[in-house]
């Protein structure tokens, strides 16, 4: 998932729920950097999201169902972008595992 809106801007016009929360949740299709590759395109018009640390497992009843990646927004172009305080947690499901445990309908 890549947040394509201006980072640091107001998202209230994008939401149907009226809230003053400082946390936002988005669902998005993956945008692959190259058609058949595994790398994701996380660039925006203002900068890019850079992964930090290693992916973490997401489990349900001790079964692996997904992974969590932490990303930090950098303004400008890589590799010279400036790190900001914006953090995004990207969750992705592992379809094969969900099918195996019968969680998909």
pLDDT tens by residue, 76-90: 998 899 999 888 899
Domain containing 33 — which CATH number?
2.170.150.80
Position 52 in a domain: yes
Position 7 in a domain: no
Position 17 in a domain: no
* Rounded CA separation 51/62 (Å): 26
Query: Is pLDDT above 90 for 72?
Result: yes
Please tell me whether the overall predicted TM-score, pTM, comes out greater than 0.85 for this model. no
Look at the block and give the residue holding tokens 């980072």. 7
Q: Per-residue pLDDT tens for 30-50?
A: 777 888 877 887 888 888 999
Position 8 in a domain: no
SS3 100: helix
In which domain, by residue range, is 69 found? 22-100
What's the total number of domains in the chain? Answer: 1
């Amino acid at each position: 998932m890549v947040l394509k809106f201006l980072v640091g801007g107001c998202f209230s016009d994008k939401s149907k729920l009226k809230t003053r929360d400082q946390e936002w949740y988005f669902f998005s299709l993956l945008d692959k950097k190259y058609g058949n590759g595994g790398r994701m395109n996380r660039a925006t018009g203002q900068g890019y999201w850079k992964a930090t640390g290693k992916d973490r497992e997401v489990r349900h009843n001790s079964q692996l169902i997904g992974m969590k990646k932490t990303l930090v927004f950098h303004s400008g172009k890589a590799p010279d972008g400036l790190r900001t305080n914006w953090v995004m947690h990207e969750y992705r499901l592992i379809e094969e595992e969900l099918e195996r445990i019968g969680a998909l309908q």
